[in-house]
Amino acid sequence: MTVTTMFMTMLPGMFRTIAIFVLTLVFALPLGMVIMLMRQSRLKITSSLTKIFIAIMRGTPLMLQLLVWYFGPYYLFEMPIGGYRFTAIILGFSLNYAAYFSEIYRAGLEAIPIGQYEAADVLGYSRNQTFFKIILPQLIKTILPAMTNEVITLVKDTSLAFALAYSEVFSIAKQISSSQTSFIPFVISGLFYFIANYAVAFGMERIEQMFKYYD
């Protein structure tokens, strides 16, 4: 099998990996904000349960969580799992990363001085105006470095989907390498992850430049 053939065989897996990455961000970014708000809730039971959820998501391996989401419905409710694999992957990744994102949001929000809120109140801003016009731009600027690290980690963590026998790029690379007794598939997959992470880092850097309003 030639290098070109190997690449073409792995191409569908690359698209599946990108799909996991994109859908995880689509669901995890807003969900992380919701979780952060629940953690900050004045209702003790809400904040306590949210803290427990975050602790579980951050304190257990993502691979284990994927296995729980995939096999859990079968063992608990005897639900068929044949067509549930991709759903379990997105669910597992989204909830896990939402927990991490929520803590990044919280840290960024708490880093903004209380005087910002007081000044906005004196100037007659509503709560929505204060958040979207004053707090949110500062929050984004503050959390971007931490978010960049998490998004880069997500690119690499997509390889954990192999635990559910999902044919993403890393799984296909292992299959080809085993059948062809070749190390080249791993090189191709490594280049794919490197290029993807470089693109993410480049894009996040451009966003950071946009928020350097003090320049």
Each residue's pLDDT tens digit in the chain (215 positions)? Answer: 788 888 888 899 899 999 999 999 999 999 999 999 899 888 999 999 999 999 999 999 999 999 999 888 878 777 777 678 899 999 999 999 999 999 999 988 888 887 877 788 888 888 788 877 788 778 888 888 899 999 999 999 999 998 888 888 888 998 888 888 888 889 999 999 999 999 999 988 888 787 665 55
Alpha carbon 16 to its chain's center: 15
> Alpha-carbon torsion 208, 113, 29, 191, what sign?
positive
pLDDT for res 59: 93
Tokens of 148: 């960049």
What span, in angstroms and rounded, lies between the C-alpha atoms of 115 and 118? Answer: 5
Q: Are 167 and 12 in contact (CB under 8 A)?
A: yes
pLDDT for res 123: 80
DSSP for the chain? --HHHHHHHHHHHHHHHHHHHHHHHHHHHHHHHHHHHHHT-SSHHHHHHHHHHHHHHHHS-HHHHHHHHHHHHHHHH----TT-HHHHHHHHHHHHHHHHHHHHHHHHHHTS-HHHHHHHHHTT--HHHIIIIIIHHHHHHHHHHHHHHHHHHHHHHGGGGGGGT---HHHHHHHHHHHHT-SHHHHHHHHHHHHHHHHHHHHHHHHHHHT-TT-
Residue linked to tokens 């007794």 = 181
pTM: 0.87
Alpha carbon 161 to its chain's center: 14
Q: Identify the structural domains of the chain with CATH numbers, from first to last.
A: 3-210 (1.10.3720.10)
pLDDT for res 35: 94
Q: How many residues does the chain have?
A: 215
pLDDT for res 195: 93
